[in-house]
Every structure is written in structure tokens, then in C-alpha cells.
């Protein structure tokens, strides 16, 4: 069997607050393979957010090992983690995290600045990425000139710009209405169908049902890890990203 893209072994994370020690993660072992679509779920205090931060190389574990795409990232420095994040992980956040004074093109191109790409290459790749999410006609628009769904599409394009090993989507539909949430999940499904690995962090059952595998957290441990036998897909199934963009324009 092909080696897992993500290998987490007995990961733990504790925080010391005054005289109190809080074990946010106790011992988590988890493998995620290339091309999987995984939903990470759990109630408040389950360790879900802590695990997400470790998976995204935003934090390091207190114990255990984390191998990402063959690289041991368990005890890297902040600068080393930043480099890994830029190369290996594309982030999609609930609050979009776009620069308010920058255009869609510049927001999408931002990770390429840290990668050392030229201005010409950045603009060409950002233009293509925006076209791929149906926003080729919104490249000069700033976030306040876009709808919530369009802003999230810009965030998805930015996440994909460096061809990362994984897309980490943290509550990507949390600030969207139902109709727009369906569109964004359709976009993520289309991205997954092209071979991308997606880890979706959500508390919404209907959103988690789009994933092929569900990992449920409780009290700093994996409570349940199972294949989703009742996968929801957008209906009618959208055949390509251009059609998603076209249909989305009709909605907004």
C-alpha cells in the first residue's frame, strides 16, 4: 500500500495555564492518504481545533510524531513550519482571510510571493486559478466588491495556487447561506475529483456528509473513524468549474 500522505502517531498537545495543565489532545494516531476527502468533527473542547492547527503546521505537538508528505514536521521551528505551510498546505478559512485593500488577483497571488515567483508568473497563475473557480471576470475586484460566496471562491483559488499536498478547509461554509454553501461544497467536490486531498473541519452534519471519511473527536481522542457510506453530492451534479461559476453568477 502507498505510504500515507499524513501520518500522525500518538500525538498529544498540552497547554499550561497558570498552575493548570490542559491536555487538548491526549493521544491521536491517524493516517490520511493522497486523494482522500476527510471531515474532522467534534464538539467544543473535543480537540478538533488543536488537531487542525497541528495538521496545518500552525502548531507543534507536545508529544508524538507528525509526518507530512515524508517530512517530519513534529518539532520544526516557526520559520521551518511557515515554509512547509507555503509548499504543502492550502488553507480555506470560515472568515476568508482576504486582504481588504487588495484585488482578487493579488490575494490569490500572495502565496507565490513567499515562494519567490516573478510578478509575471504570479499574475498568470493567479488569473488561471480564478478562472478555474469561475471568477475570471472578477480579477480586479476587491473583497468588499464581492459576495460572500465569491470571496470564498477567491480563498479557494488562493489555497490551490501552489499545488499543495492538502487543502485544509476550516468551516468553509460557516459564514455562508444555504444556497451558497451548496455551491462551495460543489466546488470542493470538483477539486477533490481532480485528485486533491481535502481535510474539512466542520461542526455541521450535512456539510460533513459530503466527505468520503469522517473522523469524530471527543475529549482529545479519536472517538470514531469511518468511511461515509451515504455521501451527499450536489444535485444536479455540476460537470466542471466553469458551469459552477456560471450557475453561481445567476444566484448572486
How many Å apart are CA 92 and CA 176, to the nearest integer?
A: 13
Contact 203, 171 (CB under 8 A): yes
DSSP code of residue 5:
S
pLDDT confidence of residue 35: 94
Nearest to 234 by CA among 226, 223, 243: 243
Q: Quick one: average pLDDT of 210-223?
A: 95
Q: Which residues pair with 217 in a beta bridge?
A: 222
Q: Is pLDDT above 90 for 222?
A: yes
Spacing of C-alpha 143 from chain mean position: 20
pLDDT confidence of residue 84: 93
Q: Which residues pair with 167 in a beta bridge?
A: 90, 198
Q: Is pLDDT above 80 for 218?
A: yes
Contact 61, 236 (CB under 8 A): no
pLDDT confidence of residue 249: 42
pLDDT confidence of residue 234: 62
pLDDT confidence of residue 247: 44
Contact 107, 99 (CB under 8 A): yes
Q: Is pLDDT above 80 for 212?
A: yes
* Percentage of residues in the chain having pLDDT higher than 70: 92
- Per-residue pLDDT tens for 71-107? 999 999 999 999 999 889 999 988 889 999 999 999 9
Q: Could you identify the residue written with the cell 473557480?
A: 133
Query: Any idea of the CA torsion for 130, 133, 134, 137, to the nearest 10 degrees?
Result: -10
Mean of the per-residue pLDDT values of the chain: 89
Q: Is pLDDT above 70 for 251?
A: no
Q: Is pLDDT above 60 for 252?
A: no
Q: Which residues pair with 23 in a beta bridge?
A: 14
Q: Is 192 left (phi over 0), alpha (psi -120 to 50) or beta?
A: alpha
Contact 62, 14 (CB under 8 A): yes
DSSP code of residue 209:
T
Q: Could you identify the residue written with the cell 495556487?
A: 161
Cβ neighbours for 237, distance < 8 A, ≥ 6 positions apart: none
- Per-residue pLDDT tens for 98-142? 999 999 999 999 999 888 889 999 999 999 999 999 999 999 999
DSSP code of residue 134:
T
Contact 25, 174 (CB under 8 A): no
Q: Is pLDDT above 70 for 244?
A: no
Q: Quick one: average pLDDT of 24-49?
A: 94
Q: Quick one: average pLDDT of 230-239?
A: 59
What Rg value do the Cα atoms of the chain yield, rounded?
18
Contact 203, 27 (CB under 8 A): no
Nearest to 196 by CA among 175, 174, 211, 178: 211
Domains and CATH numbers, the chain: 36-47+78-251 (3.40.50.300)
Task: Say how many CA atoms lie within 13 Å of 70 toward its Cβ.
Answer: 3
Residue 238 binned pLDDT confidence (cut-offs 50, 70, 90): very low
pLDDT confidence of residue 28: 96
pTM: 0.85
pLDDT confidence of residue 239: 40
Q: Quick one: average pLDDT of 44-61?
A: 92
Nearest to 215 by CA among 14, 13, 46, 66: 46
* Percentage of residues in the chain having pLDDT higher than 90: 72
pLDDT confidence of residue 94: 87
pLDDT confidence of residue 230: 78
Amino acid at each position: 500500500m502507498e505510504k500515507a500522505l499524513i501520518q500522525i502517531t500518538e500525538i498529544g498537545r498540552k497547554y499550561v495555564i497558570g498552575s493548570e495543565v490542559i491536555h487538548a489532545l491526549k493521544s491521536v494516531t491517524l493516517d490520511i492518504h493522497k486523494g482522500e476527502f476527510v471531515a474532522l468533527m467534534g464538539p467544543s473542547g473535543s480537540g478538533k481545533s488543536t488537531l487542525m492547527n497541528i495538521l496545518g503546521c500552525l502548531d507543534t505537538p507536545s508529544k508524538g510524531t507528525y509526518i507530512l508528505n515524508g517530512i517530519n514536521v513534529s518539532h520544526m521551528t516557526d520559520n521551518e513550519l511557515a515554509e512547509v505551510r507555503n509548499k504543502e498546505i492550502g488553507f480555506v478559512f470560515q472568515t476568508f482571510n482576504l486582504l481588504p485593500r487588495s484585488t482578487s488577483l493579488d490575494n490569490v497571488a500572495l502565496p507565490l510571493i513567499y515562494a519567490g515567483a516573478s510578478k509575471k508568473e504570479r499574475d498568470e497563475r493567479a488569473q488561471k486559478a480564478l478562472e478555474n473557480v469561475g471568477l475570471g471576470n472578477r480579477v480586479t475586484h476587491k473583497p468588499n466588491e464581492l459576495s460572500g460566496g465569491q470571496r470564498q471562491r477567491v480563498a479557494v483559488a488562493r489555497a490551490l495556487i501552489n499545488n499543495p499536498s492538502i487543502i485544509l478547509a476550516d468551516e468553509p461554509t460557516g459564514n455562508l447561506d444555504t444556497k451558497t454553501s451548496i455551491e462551495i461544497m460543489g466546488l470542493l467536490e470538483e477539486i477533490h475529483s481532480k485528485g486533491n486531498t481535502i481535510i474539512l473541519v466542520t461542526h455541521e452534519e450535512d456539510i460533513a456528509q459530503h466527505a468520503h471519511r469522517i473522523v469524530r473527536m471527543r475529549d482529545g481522542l479519536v472517538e470514531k473513524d469511518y468511511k461515509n457510506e451515504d455521501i451527499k453530492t450536489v444535485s444536479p451534479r455540476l460537470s466542471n468549474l466553469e458551469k459552477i461559476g456560471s450557475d453561481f453568477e445567476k444566484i448572486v
